[in-house]
Amino acid sequence: MTSASAVVFVLGEKLEKTWSAERVGQQNLVLGWVPRNDVLAKQSYDVTVWEGLKFIETPSVQRIRWNPSNPSVILTAPQVNRPESRNVSFEWRNGDMYLGQGKIVEAAVAKGKNVFTVRAIDQDITGSKPTQTEIIVDVE
């Protein structure tokens, strides 16, 4: 093995360049230093594997009456499958227009169907894939 691949995952008796979790939850991960096909050093790490981020609620269509003196609505992001202690960020859009960040935002509405997209990202997981859902506000 070259020096670039001298650190590998030690899976039982096997040495692997990559590792994929087979289940969620607490797991023990072992890295080994193998410069010449012999494991010269090992280091063990306890890691937590999380299920992919997703919204656990499906937002229902909100129906509101048009109010020209206050043409806005307060939007709240649906719950995700992470505890509140996790660092999940929320980004809001209306089409291509960026509305802001946070679990709650205020957005302008027009008469008719208004479609807002909320995107969630788990900031505590490097390389986490974001998830998104739409919230529809029907203004009568």
- 62-139 is a CATH 2.60.200 domain: no
Tokens 């509101």 belong to residue = 64
Each domain of the chain, given as residue ranges in start order, spans 3-49, 62-139
Report pLDDT digits (tens) over 74-104. 999 999 999 999 999 999 999 999 999 999 9
When pLDDT is cut at 50, 70 and 90, the band that residue 127 belongs to is confident
Average the pLDDT over 15-28 and give the result.
91
With b for 16 or more beta-carbon neighbours within 10 A and e for fewer, the 73-108 pattern comes to: bebebeebbbeeeeebebbbbbeeeebeeebebebe
DSSP state of 4: G
Q: What is the dihedral of CA 115, 129, 53, 19, to 10 degrees?
A: 160
Name beta bridge partners: 80.
Answer: 55
pLDDT band at 63 (very low <50, low <70, confident <90, very high): very high
25 pLDDT more than 80 = yes
Average pLDDT of every residue of the chain:
92
What pLDDT is attached to residue 71? Answer: 94
